[in-house]
Homo-oligomer: A and B are copies of this chain.
Amino acid sequence: MESPITFVEDELLRKVPSWRDYLSAKLGFRNHWYPVKLSREIGEAQIAQMTLCGEKILIKRVDGKLFALRDQCLHRGVPFSQKLECYTKTTITCWYHGFTYKWESGELCDILASPDSKAIGRRGVKSYPVEEAKGVVFVFLGDDDFDVPPLAEDVPPMFLDEDMALEGDSYVVESNWRVGCENGFDGLHVYIHRTSPLVNDTQRSLPIGHTAESGKIELREAPGEPKGVYDSFAHHHSLWEGRVEGDVVVKGVRNSRADGAPSRTTAASLWMPGVLRVDDFPDAGRHQFEWYVPIDENTHYYLIMIGKRVSSPEEALAHEQEFWSRWKPVSLDGFNNQDVEARLALQSFYKRDRAWLEEMLIEGDYPIIAWRELAHRHNRGVQCPEHLG
């Protein structure tokens, strides 16, 4: 038998009252929108499988629109995906006894082997709201009676802007999603990137570390808007030399570019339900969006989108070409892979719930604490074992 997902002990939760829900959210938060695929990955009539916050989900595209259902027959719990049977465009039939459900609503509309059953028309498999935006497929992982908020509340500001052209790719990383969030937002961890090919490629400057001045990070908590922690690097103290016992052992990289463009990242911000925005990264005028989406307790879906404001289809096309020829190899595969390695190392520690109380954060880590507290205040529910089934 698989080892069960054990939830966090009350004894530990009581020790962090200001971010209790965050410690509890091993499997993520409920009643939020999460990206699960890129639009390009689900063609017409295709069915895609995924796991989100521990729930197995199927998505089908029908006449261009996407529909999502729980991948588990009501009758005896088998996964539809073991052997997909779709006799009509708008239904899915369980391979085992012919239980047939509507993609649009999840309603049990027929049972091939038992057409007279009273269950028909009265029961349904869980269906999930789906939206597509900017080439990304979002699923709302929520309670049936929850009033679904607009997608705009669950993505970082700018992401949905009309002139923002976005290209991206995704990875699966073997760490908890919170470890992904914290590594990405961590102002001190630039230390690991000093050897990245991105630094030379973009002639960027990269300090050994930079620390937010206390009190200078901004909390974004306005009703009806995305909730996040915004950290402008303008208020940062940058460090260009690393010393051991007084001797310089590591130097940061200082470039002044010919084109005069700001050669530094200007801000990082982390938004509910777990998505980072980095401004002027991987280069001036770009915005990198990174989602850390819970698959299960030990795995997250890592979606990276790079955005650039464009004013014509030609500019959008140029951005697309640049993404694949430059940013994909140099930034995603060459810079963010260093973050992936760091998350694997973090996971070896943070997989134990108690580790969250054993860590020794320092002054420069306070934006991370601000994030944990904001997530505690603004989540719409914690995913729990009883939601999995």
By a beta-carbon cutoff of 8 Å, the part of chain A in contact with chain B is 1-3, 6, 72, 74-79, 82, 87-88, 91, 93, 95-98, 100, 109-119, 123, 188-192, 208-209, 211, 239, 242-245, 247, 249-250, 297-298, 341-342, 345-346, 348-351, 354-355, 358-364, 389
Determine the distance from Cα of A244 to Cα of B85 in the docked complex, in whole angstroms.
Answer: 12
Contact B245 A88 (CB under 8 A): yes
Contact A242 B362 (CB under 8 A): no
Contact A192 B96 (CB under 8 A): yes
Contact B77 A188 (CB under 8 A): no
- Which one, B239, B297, B349, B389, contacts A76 given CB within 8 A? B349
**Min CB–CB distance A12 → chain B (angstroms):** 13
Residue numbers in B under 8 Å from A211 (CB-CB): 113-114
Determine the distance from Cα of A100 to Cα of B110 in the docked complex, in whole angstroms.
Answer: 64
Determine the distance from Cα of A363 to Cα of B119 in the docked complex, in whole angstroms.
Answer: 9
- Which one, B100, B111, B117, B342, contacts A96 given CB within 8 A? B342
Contact A359 B75 (CB under 8 A): yes
Contact B209 A97 (CB under 8 A): yes
Contact A191 B97 (CB under 8 A): yes
**Min CB–CB distance A94 → chain B (angstroms):** 9
Determine the distance from Cα of A100 to Cα of B75 in the docked complex, in whole angstroms.
Answer: 53
Can you name the residue of chain B whose Cβ is closest to the Cβ of A102?
B245
Residue numbers in B under 8 Å from A112 (CB-CB): 191, 208-209, 242-244, 249-250
Residue numbers in B under 8 Å from A346 (CB-CB): 76-78
Sampled A-B contacts (15; CB under 8 Å) = A76-B346, A76-B350, A76-B359, A78-B342, A78-B349, A87-B249, A93-B249, A96-B345, A98-B242, A109-B245, A110-B245, A112-B249, A113-B211, A114-B239, A117-B363
Q: A91-B244, A98-B242, A114-B364 are in contact. Are A77 and B355 (CB under 8 A)?
A: yes
Determine the distance from Cα of A117 to Cα of B366 in the docked complex, in whole angstroms.
Answer: 13
Determine the distance from Cα of A342 to Cα of B76 in the docked complex, in whole angstroms.
Answer: 11
Can you name the residue of chain B whose Cβ is closest to the Cβ of A368?
B76
Residue numbers in B under 8 Å from A250 (CB-CB): 87, 98, 112
Contact A91 B1 (CB under 8 A): no
**Min CB–CB distance A71 → chain B (angstroms):** 11
- Which one, B93, B245, B351, B360, contacts A91 given CB within 8 A? B245
Contact A113 B209 (CB under 8 A): yes
Residue numbers in B under 8 Å from A110 (CB-CB): 243-245
Contact B97 A348 (CB under 8 A): no
- Which one, B74, B209, B362, contacts A119 given CB within 8 A? B362
Contact A360 B74 (CB under 8 A): yes
Given contacts A76-B349, A109-B245, A112-B250, 20 further A-B contacts (CB under 8 A): A1-B298, A1-B351, A76-B350, A77-B346, A77-B359, A78-B345, A87-B250, A88-B247, A96-B191, A96-B342, A110-B244, A112-B209, A112-B243, A112-B244, A113-B211, A113-B242, A115-B239, A119-B362, A354-B389, A355-B389
Can you name the residue of chain B whose Cβ is closest to the Cβ of A26?
B1
Determine the distance from Cα of A388 to Cα of B162 in the docked complex, in whole angstroms.
Answer: 52
**Min CB–CB distance A152 → chain B (angstroms):** 33
